Every structure is written in structure tokens, then in C-alpha cells.
Amino acid sequence: MSESADIFSKFETELTVRPDDIDLYQHVHSTRYLDYVLAARFIQMERDYGMSMQDFADRGLGWFMTSSTVNYKRPLGLGDSMIVRCWIESFADRGCRVAFEIDRQPTGKRSCDGFCDYALIDLSTSRAIAIPEDIRTQYSI
Amino acid sequence: MSESADIFSKFETELTVRPDDIDLYQHVHSTRYLDYVLAARFIQMERDYGMSMQDFADRGLGWFMTSSTVNYKRPLGLGDSMIVRCWIESFADRGCRVAFEIDRQPTGKRSCDGFCDYALIDLSTSRAIAIPEDIRTQYSI
Amino acid sequence: MSESADIFSKFETELTVRPDDIDLYQHVHSTRYLDYVLAARFIQMERDYGMSMQDFADRGLGWFMTSSTVNYKRPLGLGDSMIVRCWIESFADRGCRVAFEIDRQPTGKRSCDGFCDYALIDLSTSRAIAIPEDIRTQYSI
Amino acid sequence: MSESADIFSKFETELTVRPDDIDLYQHVHSTRYLDYVLAARFIQMERDYGMSMQDFADRGLGWFMTSSTVNYKRPLGLGDSMIVRCWIESFADRGCRVAFEIDRQPTGKRSCDGFCDYALIDLSTSRAIAIPEDIRTQYSI
């Protein structure tokens, strides 16, 4: 990773638990928290960075997740609302690390946090490529 | 069914497609539309009728779906927003029929519609019971 | 519908409930039964009819669901196995009706049944087209 | 962690991708791999260790995931089969780390790997407790 953390903007999206997210323990199923992060990130890419997943696809590019780590603190339940906070923690030549936090509303208590590593993929070859300079600039906010 | 249709209020909830709802045809997976209906209905039970699923559970009651019918008109896609409109179409002695429409926003074009039949269940016996008069009154708006 | 029911073969696939299918009532979430039907049908199209969804896509064709009806009898639970039985109930000019039954194993008790209507779509125009004669023959078993 | 790795048995379960697992890139959605691990692990707890999740619940105990890490290597697609291999990597006083590998069949090529940390929870208090000696013994195979 070539840059220090905490220099990029954090963006927030409010989401609400759906009944189909709840599991046999009456809590949000553990694999759904990452779905909330992806949903929030797709919104933030378009709204906050001005370059959506579709804009990447139109240039023949896609972001593929290469690893994910989630630390579970307090489960969410039926009807709960949450703030999903995401930011770029660092850039690598061919990808980036996106960190996240999910806080239950209205208490603001941490539900989980973690990070996802992404590679930028040339969709025509399915291979990782160096992040074009204009994209890196647009996402370095 | 003991009452004529279209005499009960229609309630609306706005929802947004999540990336994990999208399937191999780039559209919302056909089984997820009903998840949107359930998510909207849970919100409307608490917000619009003033008696949530949890309130029913606290009285030892639950609503179990006995049948569902969905008519698919136009698929939703990644990032789409929708209005989910639900209403009670009719009551039976031990249940009710909830009709729904999902309209894509901002065009308002119909994405799908249909209805779900529910039975009111005594959770201690798992058997359908007659709808108590006060509940029927509270939901006859 | 242009043909009488019960003249086409019924095919069976065994599936097992996954933990992420379970909902807050400790049962399979009501919208997942149709996912089991789709999973079984995809397997049966390839294995039993010899023409998979991918084979259709290779010809520029796809099956889009136009309506679904599910009648819920007895819920499945964590770890349950089931037989998903599917068959073509009837053909229309541009589509067909696929009926299904899900029986819990090993008791064989009915969990749910219903049917899905499909339209055959020309993927290049997204419009329904008449079912080509060779496809109708291959699926009329 | 109080014990060295690679001393416990590895168990395998074969699973098949369902159509509802596929995402807009025509691959298994990234959050579903962990659902495969959980599905396999539930089977293995009952079949291989002889003490199922339900057996734990009957003793008032549950396993709650405290963190998960997934390394994605090669995506699975529609109709793919896989071997999900799981094992206990180490025990802590109040939990354990379960490692996993998912290999695509029949090639055996690695699709993803990673690990999940679990805490053993007293369901009556929702607090982590020390693993009872008999459970530790039964799972130390």
C-alpha cells in the first residue's frame, strides 16, 4: 500500500434492515453486513465520487473484491436503521482498500467494522490493471 | 372473503434496490420483489397501523403467509428506487389478503403487482385463530 | 394455454436448506421456496431436457418469469432436505407454465406447491417470441 | 490462541451454486461464499462432530461469529459445484477459529479461503463463556 491512511473523505449512507436479512437468532445474518457495505458503496460511488459502477463498466472496467474482513461487535435486528460509513484507506498500484463502519441508529453504537480489498479489472481480459491517473484523482477526495 | 375490495387505505414506502438483489440477467432477481413487499409491509404495520409485527408477537400472535401471487411487468435494475404500495384487500375470519403494487421511480411505471394471503397464528399452538375484534378494527383503516 | 395438463414428465431434484434461508420464525423464509424451484429447474433443464439456460442464452434466448403463485402448506426448517418436483403444465405460443411441488424429506409431506408462467424472450430485443418448433419438441417429454 | 494449527481434522461437504447466488457480473456474489461455509459447517457439526447447532441450543449455547476473513481467488459461476473444506485451526478459552477452503469441482482449483472466529455464547445472558471440557473434547478430533 503506497499511501497513509485517514487522508481520504468518509461518506455515510443510511440503510434499514429488511425482514429477509434476519436469521434464526433473530439478528441480521452475519453475511449480510457486507451486503449493506456494498449497497452503501455503490450509492457513494455515484453520489459522492461522481463515478458510478456503471461509469466504470462503460469504460470496460470493474472492481473485484480480493479479500474482506468483518469484525462483528453488536448485531442489528428487525427494523433497525444504520449508518454505513465507508472510505478509501489506501491505494495500491492496481487496487485499493475500502474501510467501513456500521453504526446502529439512533444510538450510534458500533455494530461492525472492517475493510475490503479491491482490484481494478479490465473486463475484456479479466486481469487487474493499473488505476488510470484520472480515476485515482477523482477518487482521492 | 367477507368484505369488498378497495375500501381500505393504501400505504406507500420507498425502497432502493441493493446490489445483492441483482441476478445474472442484470435485473432484480424475481424472488426479491416479494422481499420488498414484506419490508414495506413491516414498516407500514408499525408506522401506519400502529401495531407492528413485534406487537403481534408480544400478544403471542404471528402472520403466516399461506399463498403469494406476483405478476411481473418490468424488471428493476441496479440502483433503481421504487414505491411499494400495500393495502388490505379483504378480511377472512382467520386471515386477510394484502395486495401490493411496485412502481419504479421516478417514472411511476408498474414493475409488478400481486397479493399475499395471510393467516393469523396463535404462536403457542401454531394454529390459525379468528382475528380478535380490536385488531380487526385497528387494521380496518 | 393450448394443451391439457399432466401429459409432460415430472422431474425431481433433492436440495437441502441452507442456514441463510432461515428467517426470524426459525423457518425457511417464504420467498426462498421459489429459489429452490429455480435451482431445481436449472438443474433439470440441463440434466433432463438436455438444453440448459446457457444453451438458450447461446441461441440469444432467455426465459423470463411473468407470474408466480406459491401455496404454502408446511414450513421447512434448518437442515431439512426436500424433493423439488417440476413439470411443464402447458405451452402457450410464446411461453409455458411450469408447475412445482416441494415435499419435505424423508416424510414426503407437502411443504408448498404452485406454478410459474414464463415467456421466451429474444435477448437482442427483450421481446417475447414464438417458441421455435425444435425447442418445443425437446421440452415436450 | 492457545494451540498450534493443523492438528485438527478437515471435513468436506459438496455444495452447488444456486441461481439466486449469482450477481450482476455472472459470478457468485462475494458475500455468498461465507454462506456456503456456514451451510457446510452446520452439516459437519452434526455429521462429523456429532454435536449439531441444535444440540448446542438445547444446552442453552450458541456460536456467534466475531470476525470473518475471506480471500477471493477465482469466482464460481452458475451451476458450479464445490467442495467446502472446514477445520478448527485453534481454540481460545471462550471460542475457536474455524478455517475454510472452497475448491471448484471437478478441477479442484481454489475459489476462496479464509477463517471465522467464533465465541461460545450462553444464550440466557448473551455473554461469552469458557468452552465446557466435554465440548472441547468432542470437537478436538
Supply A16's cell numbers.
434499514
Contact B129, B60 (CB under 8 A): no
CATH number for C100: 3.10.129.10
Inside any domain, residue B48: yes
Bridge partners of residue D46, in order along the sequence:
none
The predicted pLDDT at position A6 comes to 62
- In the three-class reduction of DSSP (H, G, I as helix; E, B as strand; rest coil), residue D24 is classed as coil
What pLDDT does residue C7 have?
Answer: 86
Binding partners of A (≥3 Cβ pairs within 8 A): B, C, D
Of A20, A24, A78, the CB nearest to C78: A24
- CB contacts of B23 in chain D (<8 Å) are 19-20, 22-24
Q: How many CB pairs under 8 A join C and D?
A: 40
Which of B11-20, C125-134, D3-12, D37-46 is the least confident region?
D3-12
Mutate to test the interface with D, among C15, C16, C17, C18 (most CBs of D within 10 A): C18
Set of chain A residues whose Cβ sits within 8 Å of the Cβ of C22: 23-24
Distance of CA C56 to the CA centre of its chain: 16
Please state, in angstroms and rounded to a whole number, the distance separating the CA atoms of residues A14 and C48: 46
Specify the DSSP class assigned to residue B19: G
| Whole-number Å distance between alpha carbons of B86 and B96 | 13
Residue C28 C-alpha, separation from nearest chain A C-alpha, in angstroms: 9
pTM metric for this prediction: 0.92
Other residues' Cβ atoms within 10 Å of the Cβ of residue D2:
7
CA-based end-to-end distance of chain D: 17
Closest in C20, C23, C26 to A31, CB measured:
C20
Torsion of CA C19, C24, C28, C32, to 10 degrees: -90
Residues 6+ apart with CB under 8 A from C56: C62, C63
> Do A22 and A29 meet the contact criterion of CB atoms below 8 Å apart?
yes
Residue D80 lies in a domain: yes
The verdict on D63 touching A (C-beta cutoff 8 Å) is no
- What share of chain A in percent tops pLDDT 70? 96
The whole domain housing D96 covers 11-139
Phi, psi dihedrals of residue A37, rounded to the nearest 5°: -60, -45
Nine cell digits for residue D80: 458450479
Nearest CA in chain B to D78: B24
Q: How far is D1 from chain A (nearest CA, A)?
A: 17
Inter-CA distances, C103 with C7, C22, C41, Å? 21, 17, 15
| Section C98-116 average pLDDT | 97
Cα–Cα distance measured from residue C119 to residue C68, given in angstroms and rounded to the nearest whole number:
12
The number of distinct structural domains making up chain C is 1
The pLDDT tens digits of the residues spanning B81-130 come to 999 999 999 999 999 999 999 999 999 999 999 999 999 999 999 999 99
Please give the DSSP secondary-structure letter assigned to residue B21: G
Helix/strand/coil (H/E/C) assignment for every residue in A112-130: EEEEEEEEEEECCCCEECC
Cell 482490484, residue located: A119
Examine residue D19 and state whether it is found in any structural domain, yes or no. yes
The beta-carbon neighbor of C65 closest among B30, B66, B67 is: B30
- At C2 the pLDDT is 45
> Quick check: B2 pLDDT over 50?
no
Judged by a CB distance cut-off of 8 A, whether residue A80 touches chain B is: no
How far does C104 lie from chain A, in Å, by closest CA? 19
pLDDT value, residue C25? 84
- Comparing CA positions, the residue from D119, D75, D90, D118 lying closest to residue D8 is D90
Instruction: Say yes or no: D48 contacts chain C, CB-CB below 8 A.
Output: no
Q: Any chain D CB within 8 A of the CB of A52?
A: no
Burial tier of B74 (Cβ tally within 10 Å: 0-12, 13-18, 19+):
middle
Residue A3 lies in a domain: no
C-beta neighbour count of B25 within 10 angstroms:
18
Question: DSSP for A16-78?
Answer: E--GGGB-TTSBB-TTHHHHHHHHHHHHHHHHTSS--HHHHHHTTEEEEEEEEEEEE-S--BT
Q: Kindly report the nearest CA distance between residue D73 and chain A, in angstroms.
A: 7
As given in the structure block, the three cell numbers for residue D52 are 449439531
Decide if C88 is inside a domain.
yes
CB contact under 8 A, A53 and B18: no
Residue D4 placed within a domain: no
What Rg value do the Cα atoms of chain C yield, rounded?
16
The three grid cell numbers given for residue A11, joined into one nine-digit string? 461518506
Q: Which residues contact D110 (CB under 8 A, 6 or more apart)?
A: D73, D74, D101, D102, D103, D104
Rounded to whole angstroms, the Cα distance separating A54 from D58 reads: 49
A106–C contact, CB cutoff 8 A:
no
* Mean of per-residue pLDDT scores for chain C: 94
* B112, B56 contact by CB (below 8 A): no
Nearest to B28 by CA among B89, B132, B102: B102
Amino acid D3: pLDDT: 47
Domain membership of residue D59 (yes or no) is: yes
Tens of pLDDT, residues A80-128: 999 999 999 999 999 999 999 999 999 999 999 999 999 999 999 999 9
Do residues B29 and B21 lie in contact, with contact meaning Cβ atoms separated by under 8 Å?
yes
Interval C92-121 mean pLDDT: 97
Minimal Cβ distance to A31: which of D31, D69, D114: D31
Q: Using CA atoms, how far apart are residues C16 and C22, in angstroms rounded to an integer? A: 12
CA–CA gap between residue A115 and residue A93 (Å, rounded): 18
The pLDDT of residue D6 is 62
Q: Are strands D81-92 and D127-128 parallel, antiparallel or unpaired?
A: unpaired
Instruction: Give a yes or no: residue D128 inside a domain.
Output: yes
CB–CB contact A65 D25 (8 Å) = no
pLDDT surpassing 70 at residue A46: yes
Q: B132 — contact with chain A (CB < 8 Å)? A: no
Residue A135: phi and psi, rounded to 5, are: -70, -45
CA–CA gap between residue B121 and residue B64 (Å, rounded): 7
Query: Which residue of D18, D35, D52 is in closest CB contact with C39?
Result: D18
Name the residue among D22, D24, D29 with its Cβ closest to that of B78.
Answer: D24
pLDDT of residue D25: 84
